[in-house]
Amino acid sequence: MYHYKAPLKDIQFLLHDVLGYQHLTTCYDEDLLSEELCNSILEECAKFTETVLSPLNHIGDIHGATLENNQVTTAPGFKEAYRQFVEAGWNGLISSPEFGGQGLPILLSAATEEMWHAANMSFTLCPLLTRGAIEAIEYAANSSLKETFLPNMISGKWTGTMNLTEPQAGSDLSAIKTKAIKSGDCYKIIGQKIYITYGDHDLSENIIHLVLARLPDAPPGIKGISLFIVPKYLVNEDGSVGEKNDINTVSLEHKLGIHASPTCVLSYGDQGGATGYLVGEENRGIEIMFIMMNAARFSVGVQGFAIAEMAYQAALAYAQERKQGIPIGADTSLPILHHADVAQSLLNLKLSINACRHLSYYAAKLLDLRRSSEVSERNNAAELSDLLTPIVKGFCTEIGNQVCYQSIQIFGGMGFIEETGVAQYFRDARITTIYEGTTGIQANDLLGRKILRDKGNVLNKLFMEIDSTLAVARNKNMNKDVINILENALSASKDVSHHLINHDENYYKYSHANNLLMLMGWLVTGWLSLNEMLVCEDKRINVALDQSFFNNKLKGLEYYIIHNLPRCVALKETIKHNQILNHPNIISELLTVS
Amino acid sequence: MYHYKAPLKDIQFLLHDVLGYQHLTTCYDEDLLSEELCNSILEECAKFTETVLSPLNHIGDIHGATLENNQVTTAPGFKEAYRQFVEAGWNGLISSPEFGGQGLPILLSAATEEMWHAANMSFTLCPLLTRGAIEAIEYAANSSLKETFLPNMISGKWTGTMNLTEPQAGSDLSAIKTKAIKSGDCYKIIGQKIYITYGDHDLSENIIHLVLARLPDAPPGIKGISLFIVPKYLVNEDGSVGEKNDINTVSLEHKLGIHASPTCVLSYGDQGGATGYLVGEENRGIEIMFIMMNAARFSVGVQGFAIAEMAYQAALAYAQERKQGIPIGADTSLPILHHADVAQSLLNLKLSINACRHLSYYAAKLLDLRRSSEVSERNNAAELSDLLTPIVKGFCTEIGNQVCYQSIQIFGGMGFIEETGVAQYFRDARITTIYEGTTGIQANDLLGRKILRDKGNVLNKLFMEIDSTLAVARNKNMNKDVINILENALSASKDVSHHLINHDENYYKYSHANNLLMLMGWLVTGWLSLNEMLVCEDKRINVALDQSFFNNKLKGLEYYIIHNLPRCVALKETIKHNQILNHPNIISELLTVS
- My answer on whether A376 and A510 are in the same domain is no
Handedness of CA B151, B154, B158, B159 (dihedral sign): positive
Question: A412: which chain B residues are within 8 Å (Cβ-Cβ)?
Answer: 170-171, 434, 438
Q: Looking at residue B138, what is its pLDDT?
A: 94
For residue A143, give Cα distances in angstroms to A99, B6, B33, B130, B413.
Answer: 11, 62, 82, 73, 35
Confidence at A409, pLDDT banded by 50, 70, 90 = very high
Instruction: Determine whether the interchain pair A438/B165 forms a contact, defined as Cβ–Cβ distance below 8 Å.
Output: no
Asked if A341 and B510 touch (Cβ cutoff 8 Å), the reply is yes
Cα(A369)–Cα(A377) distance, rounded to whole angstroms? 7
- My answer on whether B491 and B429 are in the same domain is no
A484 Cβ partners below 8 Å, 6+ apart?
none
- My answer on whether A473 and A424 are in the same domain is no
Between β-strands A233-235 and A241-244, what pairing exists: parallel, antiparallel or unpaired? antiparallel
Q: What is the nearest CA distance from B544 to chain A, expressed in angstroms?
A: 19
**SS3 breakdown of chain B: % helix, strand, coil, rounded to 5?**
60, 15, 25
Q: Is B243 a catalytic residue?
A: no
Average pLDDT over residues A564-584: 90
Instruction: Determine whether the interchain pair B590/A552 forms a contact, defined as Cβ–Cβ distance below 8 Å.
Output: yes
Q: Looking at residue A244, what is its pLDDT?
A: 98
Look at residues B243, B250, B245, B247 and name the one whose alpha carbon lies nearest to residue B268: B247
Q: Looking at residue B65, what is its pLDDT?
A: 98
Beta bridge partners of A227: A212, A279
- My answer on whether B461 and B350 are in the same domain is no
Residue B545 pLDDT > 90: no
Q: Looking at residue B292, what is its pLDDT?
A: 81
Look at residues B211, B142, B207, B201 and name the one whose alpha carbon lies nearest to residue B173: B211
Instruction: Determine whether the interchain pair B409/A337 forms a contact, defined as Cβ–Cβ distance below 8 Å.
Output: no
Instruction: Please name the member of A253, A433, A513 whose beta carbon is closest to the beta carbon of B409.
Output: A433
Q: Is residue B431 part of a domain?
A: yes
Q: What is the DSSP letter of B511?
A: H
First to last CA, chain A: 46
First to last CA, chain B: 46
Amino acid (1-letter code) at residue B147? E
> CA triplet B504, A407, A548: central angle to 5 degrees?
60
Q: Looking at residue A282, what is its pLDDT?
A: 97
Q: What is the nearest CA distance from A401 to chain B, expressed in angstroms?
A: 9
Tally of CB atoms within 10 A around B289: 24
Q: Is residue A161 part of a domain?
A: no
Q: What would you measure as the largest C-alpha separation in chain B, in angstroms?
A: 83
Return mean pLDDT, chain A: 96
Confidence at B390, pLDDT banded by 50, 70, 90 = very high
Q: Is residue A381 part of a domain?
A: yes
| Model ipTM value | 0.97
Please report, for the domain that includes residue B428, its CATH number: 1.20.140.10
Q: What is the DSSP letter of A17?
A: I
Q: Looking at residue A100, what is its pLDDT?
A: 97
What does pTM read for this prediction?
0.97
Cα(A429)–Cα(A304) distance, rounded to whole angstroms? 7
Residue B156 pLDDT > 90: yes
Selected catalytic residue, list A166, A436, A532, A558 = A436
For residue B564, give Cα distances in angstroms to A349, A526, A527, B529.
Answer: 23, 22, 25, 11
Amino acid (1-letter code) at residue B589? E
Q: What is the DSSP letter of B219?
A: P
Confidence at B382, pLDDT banded by 50, 70, 90 = very high
For residue B120, give Cα distances in angstroms to A287, B3, B55.
Answer: 47, 10, 9
Judge residue A463's burial from the number of C-beta atoms within 10 Å of its C-beta, 0-12 exposed, 13-18 middle, 19 or more buried. middle
Q: Looking at residue B158, what is its pLDDT?
A: 98
Residue B588 pLDDT > 80: no
Asked if B8 and B50 touch (Cβ cutoff 8 Å), the reply is no
Amino acid (1-letter code) at residue A201? H
Cα(A159)–Cα(A197) distance, rounded to whole angstroms? 11
Q: Looking at residue A196, what is its pLDDT?
A: 98
Asked if A189 and A177 touch (Cβ cutoff 8 Å), the reply is no
Percent of chain A predicted with pLDDT > 90 = 93
Q: Is residue B101 part of a domain?
A: no
Pick the last residue of a domain from B399, B415, B443.
B443
Confidence at A217, pLDDT banded by 50, 70, 90 = very high
Q: Looking at residue A593, what is its pLDDT?
A: 77
Question: B438: which chain A residues are within 8 Å (Cβ-Cβ)?
Answer: 409, 412
Confidence at B384, pLDDT banded by 50, 70, 90 = very high
Asked if A279 and A137 touch (Cβ cutoff 8 Å), the reply is yes
Average pLDDT over residues B396-403: 98
Handedness of CA A122, A124, A128, A129 (dihedral sign): positive
Handedness of CA B333, B334, B337, B341 (dihedral sign): negative
Q: What is the dihedral of CA A415, A420, A425, A431, to 10 degrees?
A: 80
Q: Looking at residue B581, what is its pLDDT?
A: 77
Pick the last residue of a domain from A381, A408, A443.
A443
Q: Is residue A525 part of a domain?
A: yes
Backbone angles phi, psi at B581, to 5 degrees: -80, 70
Question: B343: which chain A residues are within 8 Å (Cβ-Cβ)?
Answer: 511, 581, 584, 587, 591
Asked if B589 and B512 touch (Cβ cutoff 8 Å), the reply is no
Question: A348: which chain B residues are within 8 Å (Cβ-Cβ)?
Answer: none
Q: Which tops the pLDDT comparison, B540 or B36? A: B36
| CA atoms in the 13 A half-sphere facing the CB of B154 | 22
Q: What is the nearest CA distance from B487 to chain A, expressed in angstroms?
A: 14
Look at residues B194, B294, B406 and name the one whose alpha carbon lies nearest to residue A405: B406
Asked if B200 and B251 touch (Cβ cutoff 8 Å), the reply is no
Instruction: Determine whether the interchain pair A584/B338 forms a contact, defined as Cβ–Cβ distance below 8 Å.
Output: yes
- My answer on whether A467 and A432 are in the same domain is no
Q: Looking at residue A11, what is its pLDDT?
A: 98
pLDDT per residue as tens digits for the range A303-333: 999 999 999 999 999 999 999 999 988 999 9
Structural domain total, chain A: 2
Q: Looking at residue A440, what is its pLDDT?
A: 97
Look at residues B245, B65, B173, B566 and name the one whose alpha carbon lies nearest to residue A496: B566
Domain of residue A470 covers 455-591
- My answer on whether A395 and A536 are in the same domain is no
Asked if B148 and B208 touch (Cβ cutoff 8 Å), the reply is no
Amino acid (1-letter code) at residue A43? E
Confidence at A1, pLDDT banded by 50, 70, 90 = confident
Cα(B174)–Cα(B221) distance, rounded to whole angstroms? 4
Average pLDDT over residues B289-294: 84
pLDDT per residue as tens digits for the range A96-150: 999 999 999 999 999 999 999 999 999 999 999 999 999 999 999 999 999 999 9
Instruction: Determine whether the interchain pair B559/A570 forms a contact, defined as Cβ–Cβ distance below 8 Å.
Output: no
> CA triplet A209, A213, A214: central angle to 5 degrees?
165
Asked if A85 and A156 touch (Cβ cutoff 8 Å), the reply is yes
Instruction: Please name the member of B254, B323, B590 whose beta carbon is closest to the beta carbon of A419.
Output: B254
Q: Looking at residue B593, what is its pLDDT?
A: 76
- My answer on whether A389 and A419 are in the same domain is yes
Confidence at B328, pLDDT banded by 50, 70, 90 = confident
Report the chain B residue with the minimal C-alpha distance to residue A165.
Answer: B413
Return mean pLDDT, chain B: 96
Instruction: Determine whether the interchain pair A7/B569 forms a contact, defined as Cβ–Cβ distance below 8 Å.
Output: no
A299 Cβ partners below 8 Å, 6+ apart?
A113, A128, A131, A132
Q: What is the nearest CA distance from A585 to chain B, expressed in angstroms?
A: 9
pLDDT per residue as tens digits for the range B129-145: 999 999 999 999 999 99
- Name the 3-class secondary structure at A253: coil
Q: Looking at residue B347, what is its pLDDT?
A: 94
Question: A594: which chain B residues are within 8 Å (Cβ-Cβ)?
Answer: 7-10, 549
Look at residues B54, B57, B65, B52 and name the one whose alpha carbon lies nearest to residue B259: B65
Cα(A533)–Cα(A542) distance, rounded to whole angstroms? 15
Amino acid (1-letter code) at residue A300? V
Instruction: Determine whether the interchain pair A584/B328 forms a contact, defined as Cβ–Cβ distance below 8 Å.
Output: yes
Residue B436 pLDDT > 90: yes
Q: Is residue A56 part of a domain?
A: no
Which of B4, B332, B341 to mutate: most A Cβ within 10 Å?
B341
Confidence at B560, pLDDT banded by 50, 70, 90 = very high
Cα(A457)–Cα(A157) distance, rounded to whole angstroms? 45
- My answer on whether A399 and A462 are in the same domain is no
Q: What is the DSSP letter of B371?
A: T
Q: Is residue B303 part of a domain?
A: yes
Asked if B310 and B61 touch (Cβ cutoff 8 Å), the reply is no
Which of B511, B518, B545 to mutate: most A Cβ within 10 Å?
B511
Confidence at B256, pLDDT banded by 50, 70, 90 = very high
Look at residues B293, B166, B286 and name the one whose alpha carbon lies nearest to residue B221: B286
Instruction: Determine whether the interchain pair B324/A170 forms a contact, defined as Cβ–Cβ distance below 8 Å.
Output: yes
B512 Cβ partners below 8 Å, 6+ apart?
A344, B500, B574, B575, B578
Q: What is the DSSP letter of A417?
A: B
Q: Is residue B377 part of a domain?
A: yes
Judge residue B567's burial from the number of C-beta atoms within 10 Å of its C-beta, 0-12 exposed, 13-18 middle, 19 or more buried. buried
Q: Give the H or E element holding residue B143.
A: helix B143-155
Question: B325: which chain A residues are within 8 Å (Cβ-Cβ)?
Answer: 171-172, 174
Which of B194, B578, B579, B583 to mutate: most A Cβ within 10 Å?
B578
Selected catalytic residue, list B436, B465, B532, B537 = B436
Instruction: Determine whether the interchain pair B8/A594 forms a contact, defined as Cβ–Cβ distance below 8 Å.
Output: yes
- My answer on whether B369 and B434 are in the same domain is yes
Confidence at B541, pLDDT banded by 50, 70, 90 = confident
- My answer on whether A475 and A438 are in the same domain is no
Between β-strands B179-183 and B158-163, what pairing exists: parallel, antiparallel or unpaired? unpaired
Cα(A445)–Cα(A433) distance, rounded to whole angstroms? 14
A95 Cβ partners below 8 Å, 6+ apart?
A101, A102, A103, A131, A134, A138, A150, A154
Judge residue B107's burial from the number of C-beta atoms within 10 Å of its C-beta, 0-12 exposed, 13-18 middle, 19 or more buried. buried
- My answer on whether A312 and A380 are in the same domain is yes
Instruction: Please name the member of A346, A548, A574 whose beta carbon is closest to the beta carbon of B562.
Output: A574
pLDDT per residue as tens digits for the range A350-393: 999 999 999 999 999 999 999 999 999 999 999 999 999 999 99
Average pLDDT over residues B287-313: 93
Confidence at A587, pLDDT banded by 50, 70, 90 = confident
Q: Which tops the pLDDT comparison, A532 or B591? A: A532
- My answer on whether B392 and B516 are in the same domain is no
pLDDT per residue as tens digits for the range A508-519: 999 999 999 999
Instruction: Determine whether the interchain pair A506/B329 forms a contact, defined as Cβ–Cβ distance below 8 Å.
Output: yes
Cα(B516)–Cα(B521) distance, rounded to whole angstroms? 8
Cα(A590)–Cα(B574) distance, rounded to whole angstroms? 33
Q: Looking at residue A461, what is its pLDDT?
A: 98
Pick the last residue of a domain from B443, B470, B493.
B443
Q: Looking at residue B592, what is its pLDDT?
A: 81
Amino acid (1-letter code) at residue A480? K
Which of A9, A563, A579 to mutate: most B Cβ within 10 Å?
A563
Radius of gyration of chain A (CA): 24
